[in-house]
A and B are shown apart, each in its own frame.
Chain A
Amino acid sequence: MLSLPIFLVASVVKIVLVIFILLTAVAYTVWLERKVVGHMQNRWGPSRVGPFGLLQPLADGVKFLLKEDLTPPHVYRPLFIAAPMIAVICALTSISVIPFGTAIPVAGHIIPLQITDLNIGLLVILGVTSIGVYGVALAGWSSNSKYSLLGGLRASAQMVSYEICLGLSLVGVLIVSGSFSLQQIVESQRGYFWGFIPKWNIFYGCQFVAFFIYLMAAYAETNRIPFDLPEAETELVAGYHTEYSAMKFAMFFMAEYANMITVACLATILFLGGGNGPLFGPPLLRLILPTFYFVAKVFVFLFTYIWVRGTLPRFRYDQLMAFGWKFLFPLAIANLVVTALVVAYRS
């Protein structure tokens, strides 16, 4: 156990560091997306600011800060201002229970690479993201414009529907690991099946079905193509953030990308073994490698996000609802029953 002052110092340092890394990651995920989608569509993407356009996120940030922050006269002001804040706060809070790697010794103290390890860690993430729906819904309503309202309505219906599939797809993993603590879920995936297949949850029985459900539900939860109907620009201008400008718009953007990163971290922890991987080399390398594996897996997941965006068209709204309720939902329940039976049989 750490003493109180050391605990406080370590926590503050960790929080500042995690928020800083998360925001940088958000900025560079936007850059990566523009670059990769650009190449997929035979364009260059950002290329002017800095080498490979690497300083483009900075330029964007400065632009968002310096632009005029318009508040249209017909909006309901308190909620119009609060909505982007709710969205971004919820998006940044959910990163706090994610373990990024093994514990590292700093000046004689063992510091875990995680802001806090709760024994209901997974539920905290689900709870915080379910509150995040209000940011989008209220933005749509308080803007007092038809496009925003439709976007907000679509977003809340879609997120509530797919949250059920998301939750059910995770229950299988919870049955296998027997814990809500993300640290222990990662711990339970250490080792190998038959000596060479990593003992990740995705390879456990039929959990790849759960991974597929999670993937679909995660795309819908973060309002990404092919489920980006809340901001479908061909029909709704920009959906729930039509009336927003400057930093308030940027906050929605940040929330969306931070949510993407959280979802990718969660997928890594629950299905892809977190920071588990082959350890070798001197002690220092052994400490760094888990974090490296973690970041690499998150990167692959984020790249898939962008890849899908460059490949798939958008669903129609009734297709989205039918897919969620009539296909994913029964599939998730079937997966849950089969996993429970398998675990009960083995124990």
Chain B
Amino acid sequence: MLHLVLFLVFGAICVAGAINLLVQSHPISSALSLVVVMASLAVEYLLLGAEFVAAVQVIVYAGAVMVLFVFVIMLLNAGVEERTKGSRVALILGIPGVLAGGLLVAWVLIERTGTATVGLGALPGFPKTIGNLLFHDFLLPFEVTSVLVLIAIMGAVVLASRPEPKNPEKES
């Protein structure tokens, strides 16, 4: 009972944070709303029984990724976003699109899993179980993902590094 109440409360906080993320006009406020979304997602994982995933969610997303977001926003000193009225195309196509997408996801979820959903506290939460899954059952996908991340890092380094100036006198 307490689990269910907490689950609903933090689900509401998560959605409210996501809406606030879109509504806020200042980048820092938006980034902090995203931190709230990440943190409440971690609580949802915890309530589902995936305690290791919850802790990793907080450490990686709320603690590292979002700190870097905030860092970049602070460094660039991004100003307040300009408000526009929004385009009519987005209004006409957007709302039906979102509704259709939501319905599709709901339909797939119901079709694939039936009415049965994961019970509260039913996910395998122990670090040992997760380790076995990651490094034994799903070793190949895990390694492929790590190579993918490595490629992304190398791409970022290439994009971020300035090309060597060919003619130093002209550059300055």
Interface residues of A (CB under 8 A from B): 79, 118-120, 123-124, 126-128, 130-131, 133-134, 137-138, 140-141, 149, 152-153, 156-157, 159-160, 163, 167, 180
Question: A153 to B63, Cβ gap below 8 A?
Answer: no
- What's the nearest-Cβ distance from chain A to residue B150, in Å? 15
Over the window 26-56 of chain B, the binary record of Cβ atoms lying under 8 Å from chain A Cβ atoms (1 yes, 0 no) is 0010001001000100000000000110011
Check B59 for interface membership: any CB of A closer than 8 A: yes
Option from A119, A131, A153 in Cβ contact (under 8 Å) with B74:
A153
Option from B28, B52, B59 in Cβ contact (under 8 Å) with A130:
B59
Check B22 for interface membership: any CB of A closer than 8 A: no
Question: A160 to B67, Cβ gap below 8 A?
Answer: yes
Question: B67 to A156, Cβ gap below 8 A?
Answer: yes
Closest to A180 in B: B127
Check B75 for interface membership: any CB of A closer than 8 A: yes
Closest to B42 in A: A127
- What's the nearest-Cβ distance from chain A to residue B45, in Å? 11
Q: Which of B46-85 contact A (CB under 8 A)?
A: 51-52, 55-56, 58-59, 62-64, 67-68, 70-71, 74-75
Q: Which residues of A contact B138 (CB under 8 A)?
A: none
Closest to B126 in A: A119
- Prevailing SS type, chain B contact patch: helix
Q: Which residues of B contact A123 (CB under 8 A)?
A: 52, 55-56, 59
- What's the nearest-Cβ distance from chain B to residue A146, in Å? 11
Kindly list the 7 A-B residue pairs having the minimum CB-CB distance in the complex, ordered from nearest: A130-B63, A123-B55, A127-B58, A127-B59, A141-B74, A156-B71, A120-B55
**Complex Cα spacing A134 to B39, Å:** 13
- What are 26 contact pairs spanning A and B, CB under 8 A? A79-B32, A119-B126, A119-B127, A120-B52, A120-B55, A123-B56, A123-B59, A126-B59, A127-B55, A130-B59, A130-B62, A130-B63, A130-B64, A133-B67, A134-B32, A134-B70, A137-B67, A137-B70, A137-B74, A138-B70, A153-B75, A159-B67, A160-B64, A160-B71, A163-B64, A180-B127
- What's the nearest-Cβ distance from chain A to residue B36, in Å? 11
Question: B55 to A140, Cβ gap below 8 A?
Answer: no
Q: Which residues of B contact A120 (CB under 8 A)?
A: 51-52, 55, 127
- Prevailing SS type, chain A contact patch: helix
Q: Which residues of B contact A124 (CB under 8 A)?
A: 55
Q: Which residues of A contact B58 (CB under 8 A)?
A: 127-128, 130-131
**Complex Cα spacing A196 to B51, Å:** 39
Question: B74 to A149, Cβ gap below 8 A?
Answer: yes
Which of A79, A149, A156 has the most chain B CB atoms closer than 10 A to its own CB? A156
Option from A79, A118, A152, A160 in Cβ contact (under 8 Å) with B68:
A160
- What's the nearest-Cβ distance from chain A to residue B146, in Å? 14
**Complex Cα spacing A132 to B63, Å:** 8
**Complex Cα spacing A163 to B51, Å:** 21
Beyond contacts A119-B127, A120-B51, A134-B67: 19 other A-B pairs, Cβ-Cβ < 8 A, are: A123-B55, A123-B59, A126-B59, A127-B58, A130-B59, A130-B64, A134-B32, A137-B67, A137-B71, A138-B70, A149-B74, A152-B74, A153-B74, A156-B71, A160-B64, A160-B67, A160-B71, A163-B63, A180-B127
